Structure 1
């Protein structure tokens, strides 16, 4: 089974590093696009060239601020637009069962519209997300050594 996992992220460096190191601890290869060579490719070509993965983990963090032009007082934090585009790409390519969403929730975090019914895991500083992510990976057939999960 393909143990390459694409890690979609925004600007939250701590979240990205924490999840990447956890995946590596479970003996997965974490694919982080900006760590891959460019080889003269455009960003979309590089993205497509590195998307031959078995699973994707999407990190939604409050990286941007936005609001509806019709409701300028509705300022909220939200994930970066590229993260939302890549979420859609991997949902289409891999299917919902092979995509996990980790969310760093703040009081004003706005979830992307039209994914309200999707299950996500709250990214917490205590690391409770680790077991949940490992269980999701296990549920689609990956071998997981649960003794490697820090508690």
Structure 2
């Protein structure tokens, strides 16, 4: 027998659990009133309690299990569990659409209460109102800690091997008068970061609006019997980290013109930017930078979580 089934069969047990809720604070009268106006609902793991953008007005008091919060497709790193509530933000603005999707992380038993009925109890129990406002304030602060600070101007992260630094420096030169902050990452940075290189990169991923990896002909590889040029493995890996966060519209790679460089199939769908090198070895990235400027203007800084 599941925990939810026990609550359904034994109202005393359910009310006893409800007394522990942060809105109830072991008040028998409040627990009884809430139980009488609510409905015990079970949500299986993976089920949706609330859909972002929906206009329903139910509040869910969690008796058992835990729920995942998803905003614009991004799963927040913390859960809501026993003694928590979800959907309570509707108290602040009942006509507003839901701000997040709430999905059952485990099997859940909840007490579902309609907004109007919940509001009646709030109006008659001042201490419950205070507990609710305290909880909402905490949740807003908690969410703010996990919200990415929006950059004032776009931030571009350039990934390069030491052999490709002349290309990176040419790009930097041509971006000199463009309103963009540029971070250049090369072998020197990898060495300085040591064993913490992935942690350092993860922080850059969180703070960047765009990434650009220079896929030069650094290494020789054999593919299906043919000898091809290929970028360094670490450059490919690092672009992959940014691609997962930024998406294909904001993660780019650069190729030399007229050189057959083997690009991993993971990057199919990304149109490469190209630079030229003349017979004297002089590098020209002006057209490449024009393409970047268009993307900066079109997409701007990232504003999602």
Q: Same fold (TM over 0.5)?
A: yes
Give 1:140 deviation, angstroms.
0.6
> Which one scores higher on RCO, CA 8 angstroms, separation ≥ 6?
1
Distance in 2, matches of 1:87 and 1:39, equals: 17
Distance in 2, matches of 1:103 and 1:56, equals: 14
The DSSP-based 3-state class of the residue aligned with 2:249 is helix
Query: 1:21-74: per-residue Cα shift (whole Å, max 9, x none)?
Result: 333431322112357694776221222233311111121111111114xx4x41
Matches within 5 A, 1:53-68: 53-68=208-223
**Partner in structure 2 of residue 103 of structure 1:** 255
Tell me, which stretches of 5 or more residues in structure 2 are unaligned? 1-149, 277-282
Is the contact made by 1:62 and 1:106 (CA closer than 8 Å) also made in structure 2? no
Distance in 2, matches of 1:46 and 1:141, equals: 24
The DSSP-based 3-state class of the residue aligned with 1:133 is helix
Tell me, which stretches of 5 or more residues in structure 1 are unaligned? 143-151
Out of 271, 294, 302, which is 1:135 matched to? 294
Structure with max Cα Rg: 2
Cα root mean square deviation, aligned: 2.5
Is the contact made by 1:7 and 1:30 (CA closer than 8 Å) also made in structure 2? yes
Is the contact made by 1:101 and 1:120 (CA closer than 8 Å) also made in structure 2? yes
Instruction: Give the structure-1-normalised TM-score.
Output: 0.77
Distance in 1, matches of 2:259 and 2:183, equals: 30
**Partner in structure 2 of residue 120 of structure 1:** 272
Give 1:82 deviation, angstroms.
1.0
Distance in 2, matches of 1:9 and 1:40, equals: 17
Is the contact made by 1:16 and 1:59 (CA closer than 8 Å) also made in structure 2? yes
Is the contact made by 1:23 and 1:29 (CA closer than 8 Å) also made in structure 2? no
Distance in 2, matches of 1:76 and 1:118, equals: 20
Is the contact made by 2:175 and 2:289 (CA closer than 8 Å) also made in structure 1? no
The DSSP-based 3-state class of the residue aligned with 2:290 is helix
Change (3 A) 1:26 1:109: same
Corresponding pairs, count: 139
**Partner in structure 1 of residue 160 of structure 2:** 9
Distance in 2, matches of 1:106 and 1:76, equals: 13
Give 1:115 deviation, angstroms.
2.3
**Partner in structure 1 of residue 29 of structure 2:** none
